Amino acid sequence: MLLTTILVAAAASVPALAAVPSLHVPACPAKGSISYDKSVPDLAPFPRTQVDLCYDKSAIHITFTAHNETNFFVNPNFTTNDPIFEFTAMETFISRGTNDPQTYLEFEVAPNNVTFQAFIYNPSKVRAAGAPFDTFFVATPIVDGLTAVTTVDKPKGLWTSSARIPLGFFNVDDGQAKGTRWRMNFFRIITAPSTFPAQFYGAWNPTPGPANFHQTPEFGDITFV
């Protein structure tokens, strides 16, 4: 009787588990792939965006592919860790483990190959108003082995960036990635000179409410197999 009461009370106090998408990621050169074509937050049609992932001994390899890009609009003055998210970018947020993270890597790349990389401390997990929200920049990404190679094909409306993200950023030692579990989401930002600073957003797992990518309960489940 007591046990039943406790179980009912526990069930009542635990919010329904949100169904987040999941992906199995193999060792390179095989790849795990996702694509998305819905906007945030309206779930309107959004240009198709693909992400291919694999891991090797010492890094996560992520290839971002943006279809139907029309403007490729960037701020040419921006360099490493400038706010490229104000213009055109593709992004991932990455945390090792299975819980909704408070701290995670934010990695972004723009069509001109400029990157933004920082660990975010977001203890409210949703960037709640008034809660701490801190940014720890990765100061020397290339020295660390965090790199991107970007190609742009304007006639085809296509841009692609292949990023290498060190496993050591997440305390995964060389050769130990198989079997590790992760939470990640993927995003794309589109803007144009005619509409700037307004932006159009897409996500693998769209975040609810006013556009705010920093909602970690929405991060998908990733397993390195």
Ligand X SMILES: *[C@@H]1O[C@H](CO)[C@@H](O)[C@H](O)[C@H]1NC(C)=O
Q: By the criterion CB under 6 A, which residues form the site for ligand X?
A: 45, 47, 67-68, 75, 77, 113, 115, 142, 147-150
Residue closer to ligand X by CB (options 9, 139) is 139
Residue closer to ligand X by CB (options 102, 113) is 113
For residue 139, the minimal CB distance to ligand X (Å) is 14
- Alpha-carbon torsion, ordered 171, 173, 176, 179, to 10 deg: 0
Specify the pairing of strand 22-25 against strand 220-224: parallel
Query: Distance (Å, rounded) from C-alpha 136 to C-alpha 29?
Result: 31
For residue 23, the minimal CB distance to ligand X (Å) is 23
Residue closer to ligand X by CB (options 61, 67) is 67
For residue 70, the minimal CB distance to ligand X (Å) is 8
Residue closer to ligand X by CB (options 188, 214) is 188
Query: Distance (Å, rounded) from C-alpha 205 to C-alpha 220?
Result: 7
Q: Which residues pair with 130 in a beta bridge?
A: none
Query: Distance (Å, rounded) from C-alpha 64 to C-alpha 159?
Result: 8
For residue 131, the minimal CB distance to ligand X (Å) is 31
